[in-house]
């Protein structure tokens, strides 16, 4: 137990503050080996985390590092340093605080290793890097506490797995280390506790007062939402009206592309020229910082944003959060709502804007869940093995290690507690020898065993290991800047999108229409000349699937006799569906077949989330192709997949037999583009291929390294059981393929299929016809498209006439 | 085998979908930048330990091309080995395989920047090989005519109704032909790179590799870079 020194009480009193109960409790239980604080946004969480540290350091006398603070955001580390500076200066505490991130200069980093501050603020990647140095034991000697901020966010990604392996290492270096986690409201605090604590030790959990219920409702608009789509454009007048009536509004979108379009439309309608900005992860840092600074000064009335503002700096002035599009996930919605009204004990105010008719139902279901404090979330799976491979490399860079010791250390991280010795040894073998069926590298092993200790064969390899540390996926991005010397950087677009642009094309960037002029040294140069309708840039960024729990709520709403909680037009729509066909049920699978526009259509209401429904569409069309039903394409949403083709599906039952579906899945999966993308990400993390230099750093005239796709194909051909292919499969199943949700759908409906055959389109299926993202079913289509395009281009260029012979010519062997 | 036939320096050549060049008149098959032993070299230097299957994959493809065309002469246009030590480290099975491919044919190794020294394999080692109007060398020389070279590993990127397709490719204009890399583990240089604008200033053409070779005009943005 840590007593708060008198000068702290005086400091609080001088500011008219008092110590919150949860802050006092953090002090009382400061000796706990693991301590997790669950508090809503604005609950003084960070100060609660640091109070015990400041109290312990207040008397002076501590030498070296005392507390390590880890946050997912670099910006947050810098922000905390400023915030801690106030009490430390006011109370004249003998405490030195510094941050250390990718932005810290190398000479400061060197000095920090030689003479660490009392409190070091850093990120998971920078910590992993520090642990890769031989002098790590000296840097961390004397460390007492580690504070993991926003642990709920970190626990959802591989960055969290890497961090927990790093904490396991730290605990070996400093056995008395105490772990503290700070989390927003989550559905499973015990799960986060197991993630944080040293396995199998318990984690103490403190719940702060969750505060009053949020004031949350659906935005009333004069115009009804459209039948499909995701933009929320119809709501712009109502949104502007709300912005006018509040001090500061955050307008959240689910994707960056939607944020860009909405922002553009908003400005076209913004007759009062209200100061409104945009903020998302693909904008240049300079642009984002400008917006953040304007926000802090109170210069902005609204910010159109994405998940990039889910975490971070507290902005006290926000009094309204608007969520455009169904929230997909109740937990994230609650965390977003918390960003309004950071004053503790004031209710947060939020409005939901369904983007289309079906999302009205989803929004109402989400509102109910928020009111009942029923949060969703999937249990964490076991720790990924690509991250483990990187951790083994990091350990080797730090010095020789014993495999038994490392195995014991790794399994003390909650996520890896269930890791078998055999699975660990596979990873170690992969790191040491490549793990290939063909033992080719006996002379050139990366790790060799000397006197029972594993170590790098060539110590110079440690440099390459350090350069590749981290688990964040970089896609190939190109910088965008205004043309001319010293033109302002605007942000980044995907290389693939840039390749679709020709000079003169326009696109949206930071809410402005810009014109593509040229590609210069791998930087896209643009001007302001907006003389064409803009193309929509594609951004990497996750598209979230509607959570299982939210889907279940929607299905239970369908069981009601009537829907007084829904707007009239929506309730009538559902009633009409019930009248004409059926409404989907949780324990049955509704499938409708009907002709439309000369094609046979089949609609499957699987309610398994967009990723799984997309996978289901691919699998079903592949099976229908085999059955000779000539499917031509499909489109999927979070709740259904609509397939069209030449022949009517008479009996869907065989299609949905779990065994058939699983077999089709295995065949389909191996050759899928999703697998290649997943392989690339895992291969970088596991240290098989280097993190590529971003295209902007590539020198002209120099070839890029060959693509990871080639490695994937080579492994599949010659070494199909290789560890990297096993890891790829595990990761793909969890992520984009989401086959788990298809399994869940099959288990829940268990062969109970309602196949309804109708003469025409049903009310519930109708919006799917307007949905974007139709996927054509094709075989050799790429070759055919390529041929057409080549002919078209040659013709356009007038080159076809120069051709001495037909452009296709069979070689007469 | 689907190739694309075209006129170059008064000869009739066929760019194969595999990335090999076939000159029917001389029964000459040319491949460039095999980079055999790349995985061994990277591992030796403490780099990545790549799947050690690229030698057999590259040779298997070369064997298919040789079997289909039955060339009298095979020209390897330089960087056939990732370095001289990698050539020396080839397994016996690979050496035997190469010897089998060479049997009964005239085989020319052109030196590249990766493999400047002779290797203990059959065939002739030369800086350049001239045959009629064509000159074969590894790196394009200034003001050359009828030149076939490699080194740059060109690759094309096209957008097909929103789908991005990249392929290794041949690039040529009236005086120069630049070959795609043939080795399994070889990266590519975008056809829009300024270096190609300098080497191929005239109206040029790219021939994309793949199941079938397709010719498209070389985008002119290379000149403005």
Residue with the bigger pLDDT between A704 and A604: it is: A604
Q: Which of A277-291, A625-639, B187-201 reaches the highest mean pLDDT?
A: B187-201
Residue with the bigger pLDDT between A453 and B143: it is: A453
Specify if A574 maps to a domain: yes
Specify if A472 maps to a domain: no
Please say which residue of A191, A207, A223 terminates a domain: A207
Residue with the bigger pLDDT between A43 and A385: it is: A385
Q: With 60 as the cut, is the pLDDT of residue A60 above it?
A: yes
What is the per-residue pLDDT for A702?
Answer: 65
Count A/B contacts: CB-CB distance under 8 Å: 164
What is the per-residue pLDDT for A801?
Answer: 41
What is the per-residue pLDDT for A694?
Answer: 47
Residue A701: count of CB within 10 angstroms of its CB = 12
Cα–Cα distance list, A424 to A245, A390, A478, B161 (Å): 58, 12, 38, 45
What is the per-residue pLDDT for A162?
Answer: 97
Rounded-to-integer distance, Cα A354 and Cα A566, Å: 12
**Partner residues linked to A601 by β-bridges:** A594, A644
Question: How many CA atoms does the CB half-sphere of A251 hold within 13 Å?
Answer: 31
Residues A77 and A155 in one domain: yes
What is the per-residue pLDDT for A230?
Answer: 74
Specify if A447 maps to a domain: no
Tell me whether residues A782 and B152 touch, CB distance under 8 A: no
What is the per-residue pLDDT for A781?
Answer: 39
Mean pLDDT of A533-543: 60
Per-residue confidence band for A345, with pLDDT thresholds at 50, 70 and 90: low
Residues B100-156 pLDDT 10s = 999 999 999 999 999 887 777 899 999 999 999 999 999 999 989 999 999 999 999
Residue with the bigger pLDDT between A120 and A614: it is: A120
Q: Tell me which residue in B43, B56, B205 faces A441 most closely, judged by beta carbons.
A: B43
Per-residue confidence band for B51, with pLDDT thresholds at 50, 70 and 90: very high
**Residues of A with Cβ-Cβ distance to B92 under 8 angstroms:** none
What is the per-residue pLDDT for A701?
Answer: 64
Residues A182 and A118 in one domain: yes
Rounded-to-integer distance, Cα A468 and Cα A570, Å: 52
Average pLDDT of every residue of chain A? 86
Residue A667: count of CB within 10 angstroms of its CB = 10
Number of domains present in the structure of chain A: 5
Cβ neighbors of B180 (< 8 A, separation 6 or more) are B19, B32, B33, B153, B154, B155, B168, B169, B170, B188, B209
Minimum distance, in Å, between the CA of residue A811 and any CA atom of chain B: 7
Please say which residue of A469, A495, A527 terminates a domain: A527
Specify if A407 maps to a domain: no
Nearest to A302 by CA among A341, A258, A244: A244
Tell me whether residues B49 and A717 touch, CB distance under 8 A: no
What is the per-residue pLDDT for B163?
Answer: 58
Residues A609 and A755 in one domain: yes
Residues A152 and A10 in one domain: yes
Disruptive mutation site among B37, B46, B166 for chain A (greatest number of A CBs within 10 Å): B46
Per-residue confidence band for A780, with pLDDT thresholds at 50, 70 and 90: very low
Strands A145-148 and A506-509: unpaired
Tell me whether residues A519 and B192 touch, CB distance under 8 A: yes
What is the per-residue pLDDT for B39?
Answer: 93
Q: What does the block give as tokens for B124?
A: 């002739």
Q: With 70 as the cut, is the pLDDT of residue A536 above it?
A: no
Give the residue numbers spanning the domain of A810.
778-813
Rounded-to-integer distance, Cα A610 and Cα A398, Å: 43
Residues A226-247 pLDDT 10s = 887 778 889 999 999 999 999 9
Q: Tell me which residue in B48, B53, B54 faces A690 most closely, judged by beta carbons.
A: B48
Residues A68 and A162 in one domain: yes
Q: Tell me which residue in A460, A786, A796 faces B165 most closely, judged by beta carbons.
A: A786
What is the per-residue pLDDT for B117?
Answer: 77
Q: Could you give the percent of chain A with pLDDT greater than 90?
A: 48
Rounded-to-integer distance, Cα A243 and Cα A319, Å: 10
Residues A762 and A791 in one domain: no
Lowest mean pLDDT across A346-350, A402-406, B122-126: A346-350
Residues A792 and A746 in one domain: no
Residues A249 and A197 in one domain: no
Minimum distance, in Å, between the CA of residue A619 and any CA atom of chain B: 21
Residues A699-752 pLDDT 10s = 556 676 678 889 999 999 999 999 999 999 888 877 667 888 898 999 999 889
CATH code assigned at A276: 3.40.50.300
**Partner residues linked to B29 by β-bridges:** B22, B74
Residues A505 and A610 in one domain: no
Nearest to A80 by CA among A149, A175, A177, A178: A149
Specify if A584 maps to a domain: yes
Rounded-to-integer distance, Cα A364 and Cα A557, Å: 10
Burial class (CB in 10 A: 0-12, 13-18, 19+), A518: middle
Please say which residue of A207, A231, A266 terminates a domain: A207
What is the per-residue pLDDT for A328?
Answer: 86
What is the per-residue pLDDT for A192?
Answer: 95
Q: With 90 as the cut, is the pLDDT of residue A634 above it?
A: no
What is the per-residue pLDDT for B205?
Answer: 94
Mean pLDDT of A401-416: 97
Residues A242 and A335 in one domain: yes
Q: How far is CA B119 from the centre of its chain?
A: 19
Per-residue confidence band for A803, with pLDDT thresholds at 50, 70 and 90: very low
Nearest chain B residue to A523, by CA: B225
Residues A589-599 pLDDT 10s = 999 999 998 88
Minimum distance, in Å, between the CA of residue B46 and any CA atom of chain A: 5
B185 touches chain A (CB under 8 A): yes
Minimum distance, in Å, between the CA of residue B197 and any CA atom of chain A: 11
What is the per-residue pLDDT for B224?
Answer: 38
Residues B53-100 pLDDT 10s = 999 999 999 999 999 999 999 999 999 999 999 999 999 999 999 999
Which domains occur in chain B, in start order? 3-224 (3.60.21)
Minimum distance, in Å, between the CA of residue A725 and any CA atom of chain B: 12
What is the per-residue pLDDT for A797?
Answer: 63
Residue with the bigger pLDDT between A508 and A588: it is: A588
Q: Tell me which residue in B22, B43, B215 faces A444 most closely, judged by beta carbons.
A: B43
Q: With 70 as the cut, is the pLDDT of residue A499 above it?
A: no
Specify if A76 maps to a domain: yes
Residues A268 and A168 in one domain: no
What is the per-residue pLDDT for A810?
Answer: 31
What is the per-residue pLDDT for A645?
Answer: 84
Residues A312-325 pLDDT 10s = 666 657 889 999 98
Q: Tell me which residue in B48, B52, B56 faces A689 most closely, judged by beta carbons.
A: B48
Specify if A377 maps to a domain: no
Per-residue confidence band for A522, with pLDDT thresholds at 50, 70 and 90: low
Residues B178-220 pLDDT 10s = 999 999 999 899 898 889 999 998 889 999 999 889 999 988 6
Tell me whether residues A444 and B48 touch, CB distance under 8 A: no
Cβ neighbors of A767 (< 8 A, separation 6 or more) are A227, A228, A356, A357, A358
Specify if A685 maps to a domain: no
Residues A121 and A183 in one domain: yes
What is the per-residue pLDDT for A145?
Answer: 98
Mean pLDDT of A549-555: 94
Q: With 60 as the cut, is the pLDDT of residue A800 above it?
A: no
**Residues of A with Cβ-Cβ distance to B188 under 8 angstroms:** 703-704, 706
């Amino acid at each position: 137990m840590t007593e708060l020194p008198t000068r702290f009480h005086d400091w609080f009193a001088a500011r008219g503050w008092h110590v919150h109960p949860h802050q006092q409790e953090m002090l009382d239980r400061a000796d706990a080996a693991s301590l997790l604080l669950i508090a809503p946004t604005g609950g003084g969480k960070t100060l609660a985390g640091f109070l015990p540290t400041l109290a312990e350091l207040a008397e002076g006398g501590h030498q070296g590092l005392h507390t390590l603070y880890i946050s997912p955001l670099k910006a947050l580390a810098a922000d905390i340093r400023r915030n801690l500076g106030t009490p430390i200066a006011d109370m004249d505490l003998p405490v030195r605080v510094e941050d250390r991130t990718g932005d810290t200069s190398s000479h400061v980093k060197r000095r920090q290793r030689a003479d660490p501050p009392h409190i070091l603020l850093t990120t998971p990647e920078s910590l992993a890097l520090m642990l890769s140095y031989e002098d790590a034991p000296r840097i961390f000697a004397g460390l007492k506490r580690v504070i993991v901020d926003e642990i709920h966010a970190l626990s959802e990604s591989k960055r969290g797995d890497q961090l927990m392996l790093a904490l396991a290492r730290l605990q070996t270096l400093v056995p008395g280390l105490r772990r503290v986690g700070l989390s927003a409201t989550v559905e499973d605090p015990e799960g986060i506790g197991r993630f944080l604590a040293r396995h199998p030790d318990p984690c103490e959990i403190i719940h702060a007062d969750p505060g009053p219920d949020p004031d949350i409702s659906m935005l009333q608009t004069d115009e009804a939402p459209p039948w499909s789509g995701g933009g929320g454009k119809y709501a712009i007048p109502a949104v502007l009206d709300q912005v006018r009536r509040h001090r500061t509004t955050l307008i959240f979108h689910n994707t960056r592309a939607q944020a860009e379009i909405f922002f553009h439309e908003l400005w076209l309608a913004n007759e009062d020229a209200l100061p409104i900005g945009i903020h998302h992860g693909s904008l240049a840092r300079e642009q984002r910082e400008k917006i953040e600074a304007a926000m802090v000064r109170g210069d902005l009335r609204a910010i159109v944003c994405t998940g990039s503002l889910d975490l971070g700096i507290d902005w006290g002035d926000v009094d309204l959060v608007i969520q455009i599009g169904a929230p997909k996930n109740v937990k994230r919605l609650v965390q977003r709502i918390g960003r309004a009204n950071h004053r503790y004990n004031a209710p947060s105010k939020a409005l939901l804007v369904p983007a289309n008719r079906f999302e009205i139902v989803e929004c109402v279901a989400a509102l109910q869940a928020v009111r009942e404090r029923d949060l969703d979330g999937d249990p964490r799976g076991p720790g990924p093995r690509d991250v483990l491979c990187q951790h083994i490399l990091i350990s080797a860079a730090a010095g020789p290690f014993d495999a038994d010791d490392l195995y014991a250390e790794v399994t003390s991280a909650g996520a890896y507690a269930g890791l078998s010795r055999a699975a660990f040894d596979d990873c170690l073998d992969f790191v040491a020898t490549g793990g290939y069926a063909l033992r080719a590298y006996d002379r050139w092993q990366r790790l060799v065993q000397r006197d029972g200790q594993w170590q790098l064969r060539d110590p110079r390899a440690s440099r390459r290991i350090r350069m590749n540390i981290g688990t964040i996926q970089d896609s190939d991005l190109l910088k965008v800047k205004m043309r001319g010397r010293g033109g302002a950087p605007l942000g980044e677009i995907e290389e693939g999108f840039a390749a679709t642009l020709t000079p003169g094309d326009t696109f949206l960037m930071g809410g402005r229409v810009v014109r593509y002029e040229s590609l210069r040294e791998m930087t896209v140069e643009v001007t302001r000349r907006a003389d064409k309708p803009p193309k929509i840039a594609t951004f990497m960024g996750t598209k979230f699937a509607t959570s299982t729990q939210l889907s279940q709520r929607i299905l239970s709403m369908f069981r009601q006799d009537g829907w007084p909680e829904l707007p009239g037009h929506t309730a009538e729509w559902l009633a009409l569906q019930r009248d004409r066909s059926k409404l989907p049920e949780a324990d049955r699978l509704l499938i409708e077949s009907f002709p439309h526009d000369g094609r046979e259509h089949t609609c499957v209401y699987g309610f398994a989330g967009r990723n799984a429904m997309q996978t289901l569409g691919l699998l079903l069309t592949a099976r229908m192709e085999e059955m000779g039903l000539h499917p031509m394409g499909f489109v999927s949403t979070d709740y259904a997949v609509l397939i069209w083709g030449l022949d009517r599906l008479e009996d869907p039952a065989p299609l949905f037999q779990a065994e058939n579906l699983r077999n089709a899945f295995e065949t389909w999966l191996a050759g899928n583009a999703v697998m290649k993308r997943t392989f690339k990400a895992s291969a970088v993390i596991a240290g098989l291929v280097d993190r590529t230099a971003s295209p902007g750093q590539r020198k002209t005239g120099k070839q890029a390294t060959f693509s990871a796709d080639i490695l994937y194909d080579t492994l599949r051909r010659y070494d199909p059981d290789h560890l990297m292919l096993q890891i790829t499969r595990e990761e793909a199943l969890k992520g984009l393929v989401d086959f788990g949700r298809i399994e869940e759908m099959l288990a829940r409906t268990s062969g109970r299929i309602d196949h309804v055959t109708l003469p025409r389109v049903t009310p519930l299926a109708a919006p799917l016809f307007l949905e974007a993202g139709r996927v054509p079913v094709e075989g050799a289509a790429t070759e055919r498209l390529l041929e057409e395009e080549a002919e078209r281009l040659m013709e356009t260029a007038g080159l076809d006439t120069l051709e001495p012979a037909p452009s296709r010519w069979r070689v007469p062997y | 085998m689907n190739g694309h036939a075209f006129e170059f320096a008064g000869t009739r050549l066929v760019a194969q979908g595999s990335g090999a060049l076939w000159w029917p008149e001389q029964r000459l098959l040319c491949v460039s930048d095999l980079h055999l032993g790349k995985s061994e070299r990277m591992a030796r230097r403490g780099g990545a330990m790549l799947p050690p299957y690229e030698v057999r994959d590259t040779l298997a493809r070369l064997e298919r091309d040789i079997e289909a065309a039955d060339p009298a002469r095979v020209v390897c246009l330089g960087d056939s080995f990732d370095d001289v030590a990698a050539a020396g480290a080839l397994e016996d099975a690979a050496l035997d395989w190469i010897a089998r491919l060479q049997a009964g044919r005239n085989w020319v190794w052109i030196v590249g920047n990766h493999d400047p020294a002779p290797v203990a394999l059959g065939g002739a080692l030369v800086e350049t090989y001239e045959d009629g109007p064509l000159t074969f060398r590894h790196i394009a020389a200034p003001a050359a005519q009828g030149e076939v070279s490699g080194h740059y590993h060109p690759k094309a990127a096209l957008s097909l109704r929103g789908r991005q397709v990249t392929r290794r490719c041949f690039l040529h204009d009236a005086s120069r032909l630049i070959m795609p890399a043939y080795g399994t583990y070889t990266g590519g240089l975008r056809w829009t790179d300024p270096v190609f604008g300098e080497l191929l200033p005239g109206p040029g053409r790219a021939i994309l590799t793949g199941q079938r070779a397709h010719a498209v005009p070389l985008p002119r943005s290379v000149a403005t870079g």
